[in-house]
Each structure stands twice: as C-alpha cells, then as structure tokens.
Structure 1
Amino acid sequence: MAATPPALAVNGGLPAAKFYSHGWVSGTGGSITIKAHDDTIPKRQQFILMSPSGVQKERMEPEDMYVLATNGSILSSPSPKPYPHKPPKCSDCAPLFLTAYDMRSAGAVIHSHGIKSCLVTMINLLNE
C-alpha cells in the first residue's frame, strides 16, 4: 500500500517568498524543490514537493506545489486556476532534481536565475 502524500501546511508561509526577497529566485525563473522529512519513511522513499513551471515563486501558495514520489511519478498536482493563469505544469528540471536527490542524497534543490546566484556562479568559474 502506498504512503499518503504529506499535508502541505507550512508555518509562516511558503519559503519561496523569502527566497525571492533574498534574490535567490526571480519571478518565474528557476524552481524550488524539497524532500519532505518523515522519520517513519526511508529517505529514498520520501515525498518530494516541487514548484510548478512558469509561476511567480513569490506568489505561490502551498497548494500550488506538486507532490512527487522519488521515482518521479506525480502523486498530487495543483488545481488549475481561472483565466488568465496557464494550466499548471511540473518543472522541466524535474529529472535533474530527482538525479540530485538520488546521487547526492540532497534534502532540497534550488534552480536559480536570480542575479546574485548567477554572479556567485560566474565568480566561482573565474576562480577555477
């Protein structure tokens, strides 16, 4: 029997708004994903919460997140919002995120287009 996806209640709001205010994500650019922590489920079988593609991250609500199994199958999708919103779409980066969880035992992955994140990457590349 499959485990039930976790409830998406988040104290103090979704962290995406904080990521945006720090310049770590920019509007619809990038994506945010986190592995739900539950000590009763082995780490490789825990659920993954993932932001949808094309959504302003600072305006997301907990119910806007996808819930995925670690094999990438979608367990729960956000409900479509009325026009002019586009239908929800899981991040195109999902395979990359799932690989990071599998190969690096990551607890969260952020794909950022934020100016500060891009500058740090460029500085690191110059220093190699």
Structure 2
Amino acid sequence: MSELRNDFLYSKEHEWVQTVGEDTVRIGITEFAQHQLGDIVFVELPDLEASVKAEDSIGTIESVKTVSDLFSPVSGTIVAVNEALQDSPELVNSSPYEEGWMIEIRVDGDVTAALSTLLNADAYLKHTEE
C-alpha cells in the first residue's frame, strides 16, 4: 500500500497537491505513481512564470521503464520549480512528498473552486484500486 497524506489532494493522473500559501499550491507525483514508473532518471519541468491550464501537460517524467507526462491539476502561474530534480531526479522515488516535489503554482481565480475537482486521500485510494 502506498503512503497517502490526508492533508493533500490528488488528481486522477496521480499528482498530489499541497496548499503552501493563500493562493499557492505545491505539486508532485504520488508514491503510487513513482512506484509504477520505477527508477526516475529525468524530470522535465516548465519554466518559471509560465502560465498553465488545468489538465494540460506541463512536463515529463522519464524512468527506466517509460516516459510519462506530468499534468497540472490547476490553472495558474509557475512560481517555483524544484531545481534539485535536475541533478537528482531520483528524489521523486526516495521522497515523493518532500524533497521530490516538482513545482509550485499560484492558482488563478478562486482557489477553493480550483481544488474542488481533486480527490481526497480516500477517494484517491479507491481510484488506484480500480
């Protein structure tokens, strides 16, 4: 069983979302997703200040098995990128919820409304069991 954080929200595409400010969220991939991918060898992330739309591809994650798209769970502007992943992409495997975070987005519009489409931990767990 993969670790889930009850204070995080989750997308059906296996991204986690943590509120880190009044209008800012931090995003990464779930432990379930990193386990499915296997050893992460490269992470391509968007540029700072890039504008992103919910459900759009915002980068890629390459593992020894495959290359997968990273999707934005919310619309907004990239305000931080985890530069450590350039030299140490394996942080996504060893610490998906702490050191392996990927980006921070300043959410466009109503944050509560933007997050309302995401899953809580219980709903995400059910999704992964389907």
Q: Same fold, TM exceeding 0.5?
A: no
Q: Hey, which of these two has a bigger chunk of helix by percent?
A: 1
- Length-normalised TM-score, structure 2: 0.33
- Length-normalised TM-score, structure 1: 0.33
Q: Which has the larger radius of gyration?
A: 1
Q: Hey, which of these two has a bigger chunk of strand by percent?
A: 2
